């Protein structure tokens, strides 16, 4: 099992550790609910060093990524701008989702998921060979990544790392800048303001400690999951995978079909069409929790299944992402098979909480 | 592992306390609450229900997972802890104090045959 540069720090804090994509990661440091609330109300700190930075460099880096990714890095005009994209297989299945930053015109930096990192690099290498393009693909195992998230993230960052904080405060959402050995990006996976900070592994422990000393609360993967679900963000391997078209996973907005750009998977996803879609579900019953793989019904018709479900700490009831056939309208009520019972759930747009506030229609608000 | 010596235990991680009136109070062990993490719902059985030994009678749900609670012995449910419907986190805070339901055993001698603290410690760590 792989361990991040912060492993000893997590153990010292009595974190409950768990296997996540081959990495031993903190699940929580005592209470995932308290960690969740810390991010919604103040600032939480996550070790996300299991995610892999992959640098793509060379004169043809832009042209290469325009062919390799479903979203168009051609949109990235200014250094520091970031783009969310799927990387598709030839058959249109989602190999991974990632964020790619423009560092310089011949230097792009992608951040990919932990469990898929090795396959991703091998896939990119195979594309480089297929197209005989002049790019170097470099996985950066020498870097650590911390995510500092919450309404007071900037304040905590400025206190702990003044130089990084000064630059971070000027960043627009979804952009990044370099400060000495650090890259700081105004991105995250929680629906709150916040930052993802990339640094040399050797600086991870001191950076973590100074952020905690400044008041950021250590948070584990359990809170990360409830936060991203409230924010309506997909988790790779759960809400989509190599068998899923981005159109079936609510990722239509990330597939850029403008112009004639030929990217891997384009023809396949267009031929496959959009058969299913991603919806949000808010359980109407006060008790019960929606969980992955539960079946969803409209009347007696089986229309799909839950892909991620949880108890929402912010809303005080269960929410879920589900993949259903097209045509299940927001506002309608479906039934979900929960432990032998059919429980009623409202179909909603798949974002439940943003900046600490409920996005549910007023009649559904807790 | 924190385990009161005066309780009985099951391999499915319930604790069982013998009460003066001949009934038993049942909850989940500290080990079980730690594995489940933050508990958000407790659904105890309805009083009056007759249950068999090993029957699933209720549910404890954490943010992470749902877990059945079982009847350690056959008998009749006589009470459910209403406090847990509004404060399920009590199970995390004090697993051995937060009883979930009470049962009147058909055969009180069956309670004595359940695991003692040492037996449970071995079962839970194997």
Q: What is the pLDDT of residue A365?
A: 56
Q: What is the pLDDT of residue A49?
A: 98
pLDDT tens per residue across span A108-151: 999 999 999 999 999 999 999 999 999 999 999 999 999 999 99
CB A283 within 8 A of CB A336: yes
Give, in order, the Cα–Cα distances in Å from A21 to each of A3, A48, A309, B73: 11, 12, 19, 41
- Identify the residue among A37, A287, A293, A317 best suited for mutation to test binding to B, counting B beta carbons within 10 A and taking the highest: A287
Tell me if residue B11 falls in helix, strand or coil: coil
A 10 A CB-CB count for A337 gives 16
Beta bridge partners of residue A217, listed in sequence order = A44
- Percent of chain A exceeding pLDDT 90 equals 96
Token pair 């949000």 is at which residue?
A: A280
pLDDT tens per residue across span A234-245: 999 999 999 999
Q: What is the pLDDT of residue A287?
A: 83
Give, in order, the Cα–Cα distances in Å from A133 to each of A59, A267, A296, B100: 9, 22, 46, 65
Query: Is the CB of A31 less than 8 angstroms away from the CB of B63?
Result: no
Q: What is the pLDDT of residue B125?
A: 87
**If 0-12 CB within 10 Å is exposed, 13-18 middle and 19+ buried, where does residue A90 land?**
exposed
Residue of B37, B43, B65 with shortest CB distance to A287: B43
pLDDT tens per residue across span A164-214: 999 999 999 999 999 999 999 999 999 999 999 999 999 999 999 999 999
Closest chain B CA to residue A339? B66
Whole-number Å distance between alpha carbons of A363 and A233:
23
The residues, any chain, with a CB within 8 Å of residue B109's CB and separated by 6 or more, are none
Q: Does A310 touch chain B (CB under 8 A)?
A: yes
Query: What ipTM was predicted for this assembly?
Result: 0.87
Beta bridge partners of residue B62, listed in sequence order = B39
Query: Is the CB of A288 less than 8 angstroms away from the CB of B38?
Result: no
Whole-number Å distance between alpha carbons of A295 and A350:
18
Q: Which domains does chain A have, with CATH numbers?
A: 275-364 (2.40.30.110)
Look at residue A366 and tell me whether its pLDDT is greater than 60: no
Token pair 């060979």 is at which residue?
A: A129
- Percent of chain A exceeding pLDDT 70 equals 99
Residue of A222, A287, A291 with shortest CB distance to B37: A222
Q: What is the pLDDT of residue A361?
A: 81
pLDDT tens per residue across span B48-95: 999 999 999 999 999 999 999 999 999 999 999 999 999 999 999 999
What tokens does A20 get? Answer: 């996540």
Mean pLDDT of chain B: 96
Q: What is the pLDDT of residue B126?
A: 76
The residues, any chain, with a CB within 8 Å of residue A203's CB and separated by 6 or more, are A144, A181, A182
Query: Is the CB of A287 less than 8 angstroms away from the CB of B37?
Result: no
Task: Please compute the mean of the pLDDT values over residues A337-346 and round it to a whole number.
Answer: 94
Look at residue A215 and tell me whether its pLDDT is greater than 60: yes
- Identify the residue among B33, B34, B37, B43 best suited for mutation to test binding to A, counting A beta carbons within 10 A and taking the highest: B37
The residues, any chain, with a CB within 8 Å of residue A126's CB and separated by 6 or more, are none
Look at residue A292 and tell me whether its pLDDT is greater than 70: yes
Closest chain A CA to residue B37? A31
pLDDT tens per residue across span A62-101: 999 999 999 999 999 999 999 999 999 999 999 999 999 9
pTM, full prediction? 0.95
From chain A, the residues in CB contact with B64 under 8 A are 32, 222
The DSSP 8-state label assigned to residue A246 in this structure reads G
Q: Measured in Å, how far apart are chain B's first and last C-alpha atoms? A: 13
Q: What is the pLDDT of residue A296?
A: 98
Query: Is the CB of A222 less than 8 angstroms away from the CB of B92?
Result: no
Phi-psi region of A102 (alpha: psi -120 to 50; beta: other; left: phi over 0): beta
Q: What is the pLDDT of residue A196?
A: 98
The residues, any chain, with a CB within 8 Å of residue A101's CB and separated by 6 or more, are A76, A80, A81, A82, A83, A108, A109, A110, A111, A176, A183, A185
Handedness of CA A149, A112, A262, A102 (dihedral sign): positive
Task: Please compute the mean of the pLDDT values over residues B106-113 and round it to a whole number.
Answer: 96
Query: Is the CB of A311 less than 8 angstroms away from the CB of B92?
Result: no
Q: Which domains does chain B have, with CATH numbers?
A: 8-106 (2.40.50.100)
From chain A, the residues in CB contact with B66 under 8 A are 289, 291, 339
Q: What is the pLDDT of residue A285?
A: 84
Look at residue B19 and tell me whether its pLDDT is greater than 70: yes
Give, in order, the Cα–Cα distances in Å from A28 to each of A10, A44, B38: 9, 12, 10
């Amino acid at each position: 099992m792989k361990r991040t540069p912060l492993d000893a720090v997590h153990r010292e804090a009595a974190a409950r550790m768990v296997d996540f994509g081959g990495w031993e990661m903190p699940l929580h440091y005592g209470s995932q609910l308290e960690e969740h609330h810390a991010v919604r109300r103040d600032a939480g700190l996550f070790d996300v060093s299991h995610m892999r930075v992959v640098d793509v460099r060379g004169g043809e880096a832009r042209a290469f990524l325009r062919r390799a990714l479903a979203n168009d890095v051609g949109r990235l005009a200014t250094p520091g701008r970031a783009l969310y994209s799927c990387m598709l297989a030839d058959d249109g299945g989602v190999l991974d989702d990632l964020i790619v930053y423009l560092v310089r015109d011949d230097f792009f930096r992608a951040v990919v998921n932990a469990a898929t990192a090795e396959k991703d690099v091998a896939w990119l290498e195979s594309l480089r060979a297929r197209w005989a393009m002049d790019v170097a693909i470099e996985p950066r195992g020498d870097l650590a990544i911390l995510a500092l998230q919450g309404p007071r993230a900037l304040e905590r960052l400025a206190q702990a790392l003044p130089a990084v904080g000064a630059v971070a405060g000027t960043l627009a959402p979804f952009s990044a800048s370099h400060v000495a050995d650090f890259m700081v990006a105004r991105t995250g996976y929680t629906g709150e303001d916040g930052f993802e900070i990339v640094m040399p592994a050797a600086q991870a422990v001191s950076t973590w400690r100074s952020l905690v000393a400044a008041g950021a609360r250590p948070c584990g993967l359990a809170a990360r999951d409830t936060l991203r679900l409230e924010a309506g963000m997909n988790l790779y391997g759960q809400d989509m995978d190599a068998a899923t078209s981005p159109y079936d996973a609510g990722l239509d907005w990330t597939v850029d079909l403008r112009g004639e750009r030929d990217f891997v998977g384009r023809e396949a996803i267009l031929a496959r069409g959009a058969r299913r879609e991603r919806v949000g579900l808010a359980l109407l019953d006060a008790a019960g929790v929606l969980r992955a793989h539960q079946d969803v019904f409209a009347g007696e018709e089986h229309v799909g299944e839950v892909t991620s479900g949880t108890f929402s700490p912010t809303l005080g009831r269960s929410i879920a992402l589900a993949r259903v056939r097209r045509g299940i309208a927001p506002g309608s009520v479906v039934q979900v098979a929960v432990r032998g019972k059919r429980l009623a759930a409202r179909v909603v747009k798949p974002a439940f909480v943003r900046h600490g506030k409920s996005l549910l229609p007023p009649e559904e608000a807790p | 592992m924190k385990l009161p010596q005066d309780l009985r235990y099951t391999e499915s991680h319930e604790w069982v306390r013998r009460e003066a009136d001949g009934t038993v109070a049942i909850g989940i062990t500290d080990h079980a609450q730690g594995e489940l993490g933050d508990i958000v719902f407790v659904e105890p059985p309805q009083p009056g229900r007759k249950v068999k030994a090993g029957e699933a009678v209720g549910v404890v749900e954490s943010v992470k997972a749902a877990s059945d609670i079982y009847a350690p012995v056959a008998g009749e449910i006589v009470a459910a802890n209403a406090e847990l419907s509004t404060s399920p986190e009590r199970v995390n805070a004090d697993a051995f104090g937060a009883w979930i339901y009470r049962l009147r055993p058909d055969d009180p001698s069956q309670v004595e045959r359940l695991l003692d603290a040492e037996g449970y410690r071995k079962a839970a760590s194997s």
